[in-house]
Amino acid sequence: MAELPKTQVRQIHCQRPTSPQNHGNRACCAFTELNLLHRYVFRELLGATLAGVALFAFILTTGNAMKDLFGLLGDGKLTVQAMAEMLIMLFPFVLTYALPMGLLTAVLLTLGRLSAQHEITAMRAVGVGLTRIAAPVLLIAVVGVAISLVVNFSFAPNAKAKYRERLADTIRTNPLKFVVERTFVRQFPGVVLYVGERDGNNLRDFWVWELDKKNRVTRFSRAESGRFDWNEEDNYVMLVLERGRVEVRNTKDPENFAKVPLSPSFDRLPIQLPLDRVFKRQTLTKKVSWMNFSELVAEHERIEKSADPADAGRLLEVRMNIHEKAALAFSVFSLALVGVPLGIRTKRSETSANLGVALALTMVYYLIMIAAGWLDQHPEWHPELLLWVPNFLFQGFGVWSWLRLGRV
């Protein structure tokens, strides 16, 4: 007689009438049913989580692209291929926020649907506790925290730094992309450019306004033609005007037209446009938010050994950045913990409703974290530790709601 597969044998054993002497069989049935339950909830939750993370990542990436890239693409200053590569660089950065929001939405959607269809009521009626029902949620949340820690301390800062460098390279490799004829060019802080005619690399009827810190015109130049030269070693673009006239105003009072400005003519006039001013980045020190974990630790040790009083504020900035990245990683678990009792109680299976609830909860979480960040001017209050307040509040509320639901 051929042997039956083990799965069929187990199902046959579980279908036999139980007796007081058949305790092992009942335990086998309970384990099998619980294992099937976990796999069922896990599959539903994992699919919803991946869809939620993808949705929020797309929204956040599009928002960043609209701010930095779409305008450059529309003006012909950026190619489609370059923009696609830069969008890929943005993905690890937006994943920091998309992962907790996506998991919370998945928890609300999955448990809300199971509760609305009375499946959770049936599970609890046969003795399956809330902790066992939510075990797949806790498992995915813990894995999410681990992934988020790696992303926040490694992939996200590295990708953000490469993204800004690639954006700067669009000017370095071809500064003419930023010059559109009959359009005021304001990409260079402190300078406004206008070109009447452009034929390839030949620029004619060049107008240049040089501004002070109050955006007042201190020098106005107009030339028949001009060109751009890039100095790679010193990281600046040199604008060279040819055959024109310059109007020089009083630097202390440039708007006082009672004093007649000087208007000498020139055959060649160079104007230096530093690229570091374009992106407002520092050449000597890297921006703290773009540092990975090893760089943050090294910077923290350097500042602690430094006797420079100017480093005191940077030390707090480094500490806050470390705690912020860690706190954001644990927000995956905090929001999921709140989502379990909330999803079961609301009993809503509609995607739009759960998206709204998830957005509201995450907004509250991030607003509390932002409020803690406002205290960076008061180191005596330890704002780096206050960044953990949203996690403590959400986890405390989640445990309290969990206990209350367990007594129902």
What DSSP string describes 38-72?
HHHHHHHHHHHHHHHHHHHHHHHHHHHHHHHTHHH
Residues 95 and 209 placed together within one structural domain of the fold: no
Residues 140 and 215 placed together within one structural domain of the fold: no
Q: Bridge-partner residues for 219, per DSSP?
A: 210, 248
CA 219, 220, 225 angle in degrees (round to 5)?
A: 130
Residue where one domain finishes, among candidates 262, 278, 294 = 278
Residue ranges making up the domain that contains 211:
190-278
Q: For residue 328, give both structure tokens.
A: 């954001």
Question: Do 69 and 83 meet the contact criterion of CB atoms below 8 Å apart?
Answer: yes
Residues 334 and 194 placed together within one structural domain of the fold: no
Residues 49 and 169 placed together within one structural domain of the fold: yes
33 found inside a domain: no
59 found inside a domain: yes
Q: Report the Cα–Cα distance between both ends of the chain, in Å, rounded.
A: 52
Residue where one domain finishes, among candidates 230, 248, 278 = 278
Residues 87 and 100 placed together within one structural domain of the fold: yes
Residues 357 and 307 placed together within one structural domain of the fold: yes
Residues 305 and 408 placed together within one structural domain of the fold: yes
Question: Do 88 and 179 meet the contact criterion of CB atoms below 8 Å apart?
Answer: no
Question: Do 383 and 320 meet the contact criterion of CB atoms below 8 Å apart?
Answer: yes
Residues 265 and 306 placed together within one structural domain of the fold: no
395 found inside a domain: yes
Q: Which amino acid is at 231?
A: N
* Total number of domains constituting the chain: 2
Residue where one domain finishes, among candidates 278, 308, 340 = 278
What letter would DSSP give residue 258?
Answer: T
Q: Which helix (H) or strand (E) holds 313?
A: helix 311-346
For helices 135-150 and 23-68, what crossing angle results, to 10°? 40
Residues 122 and 147 placed together within one structural domain of the fold: yes
36 found inside a domain: no
* Residue whose C-alpha is closest to residue 199's, from 175, 179, 221, 219: 179
Q: Locate the DSSP E strands across 281-346.
A: none
Question: pLDDT by residue for the chain (408 residues), tens digit each?
Answer: 344 343 333 343 444 444 444 544 554 554 455 577 778 888 889 999 999 899 999 988 888 777 767 766 765 666 777 778 788 888 888 899 999 999 999 998 888 888 888 888 888 887 777 888 888 999 999 999 999 999 999 888 888 878 777 776 665 566 566 667 788 877 677 788 888 887 766 788 888 888 887 778 888 888 898 887 766 566 667 788 889 888 887 777 777 766 656 677 888 888 877 655 554 443 444 678 788 888 888 888 888 887 676 666 778 888 889 999 999 999 999 999 999 888 888 776 666 777 788 888 989 999 998 888 888 778 888 888 899 999 999 999 999 988 887 665
pTM above 0.75, yes or no: no
Q: For residue 60, give both structure tokens.
A: 């956040």
Residues 146 and 245 placed together within one structural domain of the fold: no
Which alpha helices (DSSP H) does 69-220 contain, by range? 70-74, 80-116, 119-125, 130-133, 135-150, 156-173
Residues 212 and 169 placed together within one structural domain of the fold: no
